[in-house]
Every structure is written in C-alpha cells, then in structure tokens.
Amino acid sequence: MRGSCLCGGVVFDVALPLRPVIACHCTQCRKTSGHFWAASSVPMAQFSLVVQDSLTWFQSSPQAKRGFCNTCGASLFWQLEGDDTISFGAGCLDGPTGLTIASHWYKEDAGDYYDLPDGLSPAPQA
Ligand SMILES: [Zn+2]
Ligand SMILES: [Zn+2]
C-alpha cells in the first residue's frame, strides 16, 4: 500500500498487514497535526521510502522523532528512538485502507471542541 504527502515530495510503501489505527490526542500530536494524530504502523521491514525529497525529521521529544514534509507541511511519520517499527499517518495512505480506529490515547489532553467515543481502550501510560 502506498502513502504520500500532499505535494508528493515524500512517498512511502508499506506492506500488509497494517496495525489498526491509534488516535493520539496528546499535546504534541495536537500541535503537529493541528487536530489529533491518527496513525497506523508497521515493522521497519515492511516499510520503504520511495521518494524523500522533502522529508525532514524533527526531534519532538527525547524519545521520539516526527517526519514531515518541508514543502507542504504534511505530518507523515512518528518513530521512537531505536524502535523497529514506524508509525505513519493513516490519512496519508492512498485509497481504501480497510483500517479502523482501535483506541484513543491521551483523552485528557484532547481539545474541548470535539467528542470522543466511549468504550475504546485507554492509552498505555508510557
Ligand atoms: Zn509534501
Ligand atoms: Zn500523541
């Protein structure tokens, strides 16, 4: 399955299966996305960058970095330091994904202008 940013300066391929989507409402995800960050992930062995002309990595915390497009501003990737998986924005994927949102993380940090569904699994406190 292929994903890309808005301008096409970053294109990536991911091999199935993809992890169900996790919506993260933490302050960092709010700031980087402008809303909340909804991401799937794969092991690095299932991930490849096809185009990375405008890919820039931002060290968003001591433990994690975020990949974004320095031309169109798209939020694309999130990766823990030293981790063997990479998270990518589900909205970057082309075509139907077959994915569903499995959980919402950091509801306590969510914006006050939208409602969250009940009954979804809470965040592991990392
Ligand atoms: Zn772009
Ligand atoms: Zn977050």
Those residues whose C-beta lies under 8 Å from the C-beta of residue 115, and which sit 6 or more positions away, are: none
The rounded Å distance from CA 121 to ligand 1 centre is 33
The bound ligand whose nearest atom lies closest to the alpha carbon of 70 is 1
The rounded Å distance from CA 126 to ligand 1 centre is 30
CATH of 2-109, one of 2.170.150.70, 3.30.70.2860, 1.10.10.10, 3.10.50.40: 2.170.150.70
pTM of the model: 0.91
Domain residue limits, the chain: 2-109
45 burial (CB, 10 Å; 0-12 / 13-18 / 19+) is: exposed
Model confidence pLDDT, tens digit, residues 13-66: 999 999 999 999 999 999 999 999 999 999 999 999 999 999 999 999 999 999
Q: Sign of the CA dihedral 102, 45, 65, 63?
A: positive
